[in-house]
Structure 1
Amino acid sequence: MSATQTIPVITIDGPTASGKGTIAHLVAERLGWHTLDSGALYRLTALACLRQGLDTELESEVERVAAGLDIRFQHPAVFLAGQDVSEAIRQEQVGNLASQVAAMPGVRAALLQRQRDFRIAPGLVGDGRDMGTVVFPDAPLKIFLLADAQVRAERRCKQLSEKGISANLASLLADLRARDARDKNRTHAPLVPAQDAHIVDSSKLSIDETVNIVLDLWSGVSFPTA
């Protein structure tokens, strides 16, 4: 076992708006660990492409942008080229484009090691779509977080409304279903649970209940530290 592999990782994968980021942050906070929002890397790539006016059909150009991202995470803020883009990367246009560029093998390869570099002591909680299958396949605890599409759309609509952003529930639901289909059916690193992942359906669970399920599962893990 390498020195890096002695650092524990909990992966939380799942579809768009399933609550991965919120749960990952709260679990990490309870454990005193670091977090990795892998989706933010793809959103940052998408935002950078939009701001540069690039043709995102050209994978080589998108890959170049991904490889050269000037980013900094300073929770809760996210910086791109020194500018706070925490709100900008959460826009639906950016999210939809992020789902498209995330299907590009070259882009995923460009961001792979950058994600793995977040594995630092005392531990990491990483959320995304391929954390347990590709990025950290040796993670001692893997969660696949589900929620009904209607529930996810309602949660997203509520989040946007609370931020003063107008949102249409029917449109959000259609976007979520389209992104789900794209994520599940892409050839490279599709959205699927790792074989050893624990499936958690949060449709009828509160945030605290979901966090406690993850922590209870972690408490039952025997993880070597040397």
Structure 2
Amino acid sequence: MHSSPALVIAIDGPSGAGKGTVSRVVAERLAYRHVDTGAMYRAVAWLALQRGTDLADAGAVASLAGAATFAFDAGSVTLEGHDVTAAIRTPEIDRAAAVVAQHAPVREVLVERQRGYGRHGGVVMEGRDIGTVVFPGADVKIYLDASASERARRRATDTGHAAGRASGGVTQVARALEERDRADRTRAASPLTLASDALYIDTTDLAVPAVVARVMAAVEAALTRSAR
């Protein structure tokens, strides 16, 4: 399918909606590049903490972001030549990334990098502002969502908190998600919002294959349009 016109596929949505899994599967099906933009913000936050950079210093964090070298391969994330896939998926980095993502200078730097990754198409890019800011002219725009309780359950499972229900593990995750949702939707720079021309998919009661099927149907339609 990659021999067909190389599309830009934007998959947006809040945490726990299924962006990561669905994006990876779709990219694999199409033999497209998969770019997790959220991982870029996480990686910058991780690097800032490692370097002792004040997360509130937008200019300093933006400088780090501009100089950083990222690589994405089969679900892994490499920063400055080091695999940080696991290191950037912790509660501490969750909080730090939320701060970093508020800074307009940081977003400007990373958005430019993201546009570079997709300049020639053949990319599935996931995030919170792909279809609205990074690639408003994307060939396919998808917005994945799910109920707050389902997103918290998934997130807790992904981060290993499910076993901690007795100590309020899932409740703690739900509270953190609520805070992140609020920050993402109300920030001045590139807030999380549904693009007017995006396909909205509620994944609450859908298994991954069903979601992938809907996304692939949209991709097939876009390929058909581009071939006319």
- TM-score, reference length from structure 1: 0.91
1:117 matched to 2:116? The reply is: yes
Q: CA deviation at 1:120?
A: 6.0
In 2, Cα distance between the equivalents of 1:181 and 1:161? 24
1:190 matched to 2:214? The reply is: no
In 1, Cα distance between the equivalents of 2:90 and 2:64? 19
**Once the two structures are superposed, what CA deviation does each residue of 1:95-118 show, in whole Å capped at 9, x if it has no partner?**
221122111110001111210121
Q: Which segments of 5 or more consecutive residues in structure 2 lack a partner in the other structure?
A: none
In 2, Cα distance between the equivalents of 1:12 and 1:159? 19
Relative distance call for 1:196 and 1:37 in structure 2 (3 A) is: same
Comparing 93-102 with 191-200, greater Cα deviation is found at 93-102
Structure 1 segment 1-226 matched on structure 2, within 5 A: 7-119=6-118, 123-161=122-160, 168-221=169-222, 222-224=224-226
Any idea what SS the aligned residue of 1:187 has?
coil
Q: CA deviation at 1:122?
A: 6.3
Any idea what SS the aligned residue of 1:88 has?
coil
Any idea what SS the aligned residue of 2:124 has?
strand
Any idea what SS the aligned residue of 2:155 has?
helix
Relative distance call for 1:23 and 1:165 in structure 2 (3 A) is: farther
Identity of aligned residues (%): 36
In 1, Cα distance between the equivalents of 2:114 and 2:94? 19
Q: Residues 8 and 223 of structure 1 are in contact (CA less than 8 Å); yes or no, is this contact kept in structure 2?
A: no
Structure 2 letter corresponding to 1:44: A
Q: Which segments of 5 or more consecutive residues in structure 1 lack a partner in the other structure?
A: 1-5
Please give the root-mean-square deviation of Cα atoms over the aligned residues, in Å.
2.2
Q: Residues 7 and 119 of structure 1 are in contact (CA less than 8 Å); yes or no, is this contact kept in structure 2?
A: no
Q: Residues 12 and 127 of structure 1 are in contact (CA less than 8 Å); yes or no, is this contact kept in structure 2?
A: yes
Any idea what SS the aligned residue of 1:127 has?
strand
Q: CA deviation at 1:49?
A: 0.6
Any idea what SS the aligned residue of 2:184 has?
helix
Q: Residues 33 and 123 of structure 1 are in contact (CA less than 8 Å); yes or no, is this contact kept in structure 2?
A: yes
Q: Residues 141 and 197 of structure 2 are in contact (CA less than 8 Å); yes or no, is this contact kept in structure 1?
A: yes
Q: CA deviation at 1:40?
A: 0.8
- TM-score, reference length from structure 2: 0.90
